[in-house]
Amino acid sequence: MAISVQKAIDLISNININTNFEIIPIESSVSRICAKAINATSYLPKFNNSAMDGYAIIYENKNNNLEIIDTIFAGDNNEKLLKENCCIKIMTGARIPANATAIIPIEDTEKLNDNKIKIKQNVKEFQHIRYIGEDIQKDKLLIDVGDEINFSKITLLASQGFSHIQVFRKPKIVVFASGEELKLHYEKIEDYQIYNSNTPTFIARAKELGCDVTFIGQAKDTVEDIKNLTTNCLGADLIITSGGVSVGDADFTKEAFSKLDFEIIFEGIMVKPGKPTIFGKIKDTYILNLPGNPLAASMIFEMFGKIIIQKLLASNEIHPNFILGKLDNEFKTRKGRITMLPGMFDGEYFSVAPNRSAGMVSVLSSCNSMIVIDEEVENLQKDSLVKILPINWKFFSKIKKDFFTHG
- Residue 389, domain CATH: 2.40.340.10
* Domain CATH number, residue 258: 3.40.980.10
Whether residues 16 and 26 fall in one domain: no
Whether residues 118 and 254 fall in one domain: no
Instruction: Walk along the chain (407 residues) and give the pLDDT tens digit of each residue.
Output: 899 999 999 999 999 999 999 999 999 999 999 999 999 999 999 999 999 999 999 999 999 999 999 999 999 999 999 999 999 999 999 999 999 999 999 999 999 999 999 999 999 999 999 999 999 999 999 999 999 999 999 999 999 999 999 999 999 999 998 877 777 788 887 887 788 889 999 999 999 999 999 999 888 888 899 999 999 999 999 999 987 655 553 467 888 888 999 999 999 999 999 999 999 999 999 999 999 899 999 999 999 999 999 999 999 999 999 999 999 999 999 888 899 999 999 999 999 999 999 999 999 999 999 999 999 999 999 999 999 999 988 999 999 999 999 97
* Domain CATH number, residue 162: 3.90.105.10
Q: Mind giving me the DSSP string for 68-128?
A: EEEEE-TT----PPP-TTEEEEE-TTPBPPTT--EEEEGGGEEEEETTEEEE-S---TTTT
Distance of CA 344 to the CA centre of its chain: 20
Residue 301 lies in a domain: yes
Given its phi and psi angles, is residue 32 left (phi above 0), alpha (psi -120 to 50 degrees) or beta? Answer: beta
Whether residues 351 and 291 fall in one domain: no
d(CA 362, CA 144): 40
Whether residues 116 and 138 fall in one domain: no
Whether residues 302 and 250 fall in one domain: yes
CA distances for 62 relative to 112, 119, 124, 285, 291, angstroms: 15, 7, 10, 72, 76
**Contact in structure between 51 and 129 (CB atoms under 8 Å):** yes
Whether residues 101 and 57 fall in one domain: yes
Residue 35 lies in a domain: yes
Whether residues 59 and 117 fall in one domain: yes
Whether residues 156 and 219 fall in one domain: no
d(CA 74, CA 393): 41
Residue 403 lies in a domain: no
From 78, 108, 130, give the residue that closes a domain. Answer: 130
The confidence score (pLDDT) of residue 191 equals: 82
Beta bridge partners of 55: 89, 104
Whether residues 201 and 254 fall in one domain: yes
Which residues are within 8 A (CB) of 224 and not within 5 positions of it... i.e. 6 or more apart?
256
The confidence score (pLDDT) of residue 250 equals: 46
**Contact in structure between 128 and 105 (CB atoms under 8 Å):** yes
Residue 156 lies in a domain: yes
- Name the 3-class secondary structure at 364: helix
Residue 96 lies in a domain: yes
**C-alpha neighbours within 13 Å on the C-beta side of residue 76:** 19
Whether residues 174 and 294 fall in one domain: yes
d(CA 86, CA 80): 12
Torsion of the alpha carbons at 310, 311, 317 and 321, rounded to the nearest 10: 60
Helices (H), 253-395: 253-258, 294-300, 306-313
Residue 142 lies in a domain: yes
Whether residues 186 and 264 fall in one domain: yes
* Domain CATH number, residue 64: 2.170.190.11
d(CA 272, CA 244): 18
Whether residues 214 and 304 fall in one domain: yes
From 283, 313, 343, give the residue that closes a domain. Answer: 313
Residue 404 lies in a domain: no
From 270, 294, 313, give the residue that closes a domain. Answer: 313
* Total of domains in the chain: 4
The confidence score (pLDDT) of residue 64 equals: 97
The confidence score (pLDDT) of residue 353 equals: 96
The confidence score (pLDDT) of residue 150 equals: 97
Q: Which domain holds residue 341?
A: 321-397
Distance of CA 353 to the CA centre of its chain: 25
β 109-113/116-119 pair status: antiparallel
For 129-144, letters b (16+ CB in 10 Å) and e give: bbebbeebeeeeebbe
Residue 74 lies in a domain: yes
Angle of CA points 217, 222, 225, to nearest 5°: 45
Q: Sign (positive/negative) of CA torsion 114, 119, 125, 129?
A: negative
